[in-house]
Structure 1
Amino acid sequence: MTTPLFRIGFLPLVDAALPILAREQGFAAREGIEIALVRDMTWATVRDRLLYGHTDAAHMIAPLAIATTLGRGRPPVALSVPFVLGLNGNAVTVSAALAEAIGLGTALGDPAALGSRLRDVALARVAAAKPLRFGVVHRYSSHNYMLRYWLAAVGIRPDRDVEIVVTSPPFAADALAAGEVDGICVGEPWNSIAVDRGVGRIALVTAQIWRRGVEKVLAMRSEMLAERRDEVHALLRALHAAAEHFVRLDAAEESAAILARPEYLGGRVDTVLRAITDRIRLAQGGDTLHVPDFMFQYREAANFPWRSQAAWLYSQMARWDDLPVTPHDAQAAQDVFRPDVYRAALAGSAATLPGASSKLEGAVSAPTAAGSTQGRLLLEGDHFFDGRAFDPDDIAGYLASLP
């Protein structure tokens, strides 16, 4: 009998860890499936391989799965997200010149205070007809939306007071070094690579903007999910086992060594290890700083695809594409995330399964017990830096309240 095979596309990022570890540590084999990994350099290529059947699933930026389903920028193709591969793990890294101009110290900046200083610089640069330029990894990425959310909240108008362009993660540090951009918002290890090369300094991590912001997901064509439901369940169980392994401190060095291999990230083991263990070096030659929950994984049902997370991403898509919020699109966006598949795959396992499929995002300020159908679920702080909360049942009202 042939072993079911999943070809999974990915970019060389630390948060591609779960499918890599599921393959390398035997979790996929234990579930009776095989994983073949396909490395790419841009998110557009990862998406296109998936759409045209060159891969069966993909490590993907969450908003791109929604944009693809809604037909933003191309004919629509229905994608499904039954598993979240991780929360946060990104940073805003700026050039040495901009770091000096906004007074970066030896610690991470406060988003509000740092944003105020950045606004002064941004407006001065606009007046001089030399606007600041930031690079993000894709138009439909959480990097883009997190950066824009922060800038707008501190009084900087994206696309007017600053320019935002696209640069692929593996080339982000090069773009910073060449002076093509003044800052980047990208995932690890590419911020740390910019720091270690001396071409950038980390100003903020995205966990400071939204404490539990959804980042990468496992995406697949909805028709494939329907055709291979039992095999997909096995894949999700393998990924969940890999997530549990990933957060073990005694496994960190081995995981970093695997991820750093040439066929995966192709980077330094110590750079990958820093990201895995929530340690960040802000400036070349500086000490490492422990940033709790920098790259959040496994705990608090972090891999559960909350429909409210999809709704927040849709709200930002409507906001920055300047499109009206419609009930049809809001429903379609939330339907991309599939908590029903997650629950079905992990029922009877040791996984914690939330009872609800949606929640108020940004409303938890202290450890809070939440309803679950399996296991005990305790949610910790998930706040936005500006203190707002997002109600997925009132997207239009939420958008109306934003600056």
Structure 2
Amino acid sequence: MKINNPLIAGLAASEQPKNPNRRKFIGGVAAVAGAATLGGIFPLGINSASAASHGKPETTSAKLGFIALTDAAPLFVALEKGFFAKHGMPDVEVLKQSSWGTTRDNLVLGSQRNGIDGAHILTPMPYLIASGAMTANNIPTPMYILARLNLAGQCISVGSEYKDLQVGLDTSSFSQALAAKREAGNAINAAMTFPGGTHDMWMRYWLAAGGIDPDQNISTIVVPPAQMVANMRVGSMDTFCVCEPWNQQLVNQGIGYTANTTGEMWHNHPEKAFAMRADYVDANPNATKALLMAVMEAQIYCEQAENRREVAEICSKRRWIHAPFDDIVDRMEGNFDYGNGKVIENHPDQMRYWKDQASYPFKSHDLWFLTENKRWGYLPQDLDSQALIDQVNREDLWREAALALGVDSADIPESTSRGIETFFDGKTFNPDNPQAYLDSLDIKRT
């Protein structure tokens, strides 16, 4: 892939977008811990600090994109429950996008050119857009990640033709079946939603961990989330990775089954992000904080068990996911019928919207995604990952919004790193030495 982009070559200071509004988070967490909590309303950690403790928004509007997936629920809830309006942003529009490619293109356009200002987005995408690695003519559009929207909650599904194999985390029997199918002259396909995105990373990691080269032994294809089930029905793919409700819908229609939830591959892994164009944030710091506070409040609402059924009902609406309630509610409530006889109630790897510091955008997690994108050749080896992360990841703004909202100190991490991460195959990622992780992997393009 040819990438003609000065940001990739080292991110010299003169090449980075100017950001006069960046403010570093310094102390203050202790003050939050002493505030009285409104446990009856927000038992997961909103205290009595006023949501009005930020300046007047410079604008009351923003156009935010989303894909029809349950991890976009915080945006739906923020609009439907009035959280955007509560925080001074009554004119926010939450607009459905047909694919992640469309989301990218509309972010590049921006709302001034009939695009969007921000989005529910695959965590690596703001980096692929800001670096120009996945934009037209490799022209970068500066982006900021403001929050993580969720942890885990994705799945890898396989077609019913492999039901007897009981495919799970172990792909050994699946690998043999795919090889036999390929040798018979049949196409074999693994579907994901965007090159270099989270679903691509989970699919590739799972296949490679079992010795299946995702570039040599199977064709990796891009399919929009809402089209996954239809394509599996007509035999266009053997396996796919996507968020809900499409895995559950596959089970409900008897077309396939869930091989694993991605949280079983990496417990509490980062997934979607709330990101915005840098120019919107830089021009509207107060409006940005208001948006963040509304989204965070919605994340807390979505996390609470007593709200999950209502959140599923909201998601099912035509304007949002437009899928049957029965395809959404079980996994929204944490109950997983894999469709192959395996059933787990209150799944330990169910989607998290707020619990376990789900909302905070750890820089160490972004480093893993950039390292994996280097692994598969989407990003060059000499990319200065840390410089790009420091440009794109605005965890400082998340902290400011958290303090203004009155988030409990226990939900505000002390570090930008969650430390060493361990995967299902025994591999570990130490953010202090990403090259050692990359060197430990057998299948890679480097």
- TM-score interval, normalised by the smaller of the two chains: 0.7 to 0.9
The answer for unaligned runs of 5 or more in structure 1 is 363-382
Deviates more, 1:332-341 or 1:313-322: 332-341
* TM-score where L is the length of structure 1: 0.88
| Number of equivalences | 375
Residues 330 and 336 in structure 2, CA contact (< 8 A), matched pair in contact too: yes
Structure 2 counterpart of 1:63:
124
The answer for unaligned runs of 5 or more in structure 2 is 1-55
Amino acid at match of 1:70: S
Give the C-alpha shift of residue 299 in structure 1.
Answer: 1.1
Give the C-alpha shift of residue 248 in structure 1.
Answer: 1.4
Q: Match of 2:432, SS? A: coil
Please show how residues 3-402 of structure 1 align to structure 2 within 5 Å: 4-34=60-90, 35-53=92-110, 54-74=115-135, 75-100=139-164, 102-104=165-167, 109=168, 111=169, 114-283=170-339, 289-321=345-377, 324-326=380-382, 328-333=384-389, 335-348=391-404, 349-351=406-408, 352-362=411-421, 383-402=422-441
Structure 1 counterpart of 2:47:
none
Deviates more, 1:49-58 or 1:8-17: 49-58
Q: Match of 2:156, SS? A: strand
Give the C-alpha shift of residue 97 in structure 1.
Answer: 0.4
Rounded Cα–Cα distance in structure 2 between residues aligned with 1:183 and 1:220? 32
Rounded Cα–Cα distance in structure 2 between residues aligned with 1:125 and 1:160? 14
Superposition RMSD on alpha carbons, in Å? 2.0
Rounded Cα–Cα distance in structure 2 between residues aligned with 1:121 and 1:307? 39
Residues 310 and 336 in structure 1, CA contact (< 8 A), matched pair in contact too: no
Give the C-alpha shift of residue 325 in structure 1.
Answer: 2.4
**1:235-255 deviation digits (Å, cap 9, x = unpaired):** 111111111111112212221
**1:359-390 deviation digits (Å, cap 9, x = unpaired):** 3241xxxxxxxxxxxxxxxxxxxx31012221
Distance 1:103 1:284, change over 3 A: closer
Deviates more, 1:28-37 or 1:141-150: 28-37
Residues 70 and 244 in structure 2, CA contact (< 8 A), matched pair in contact too: yes
Larger radius of gyration: 2
Give the C-alpha shift of residue 270 in structure 1.
Answer: 2.6
Deviates more, 1:178-187 or 1:289-298: 289-298
Compare relative contact order (CA 8 Å, sep 6+) and give the higher one, 1 or 2: 2
Rounded Cα–Cα distance in structure 1 between residues aligned with 2:283 and 2:376? 35
Deviates more, 1:48-57 or 1:275-284: 275-284
Give the C-alpha shift of residue 292 in structure 1.
Answer: 1.9
Structure having the higher strand fraction is 1
Rounded Cα–Cα distance in structure 2 between residues aligned with 1:184 and 1:149? 13
Q: Match of 1:266, SS? A: coil
Residues 83 and 303 in structure 1, CA contact (< 8 A), matched pair in contact too: yes
Amino acid at match of 1:87: L
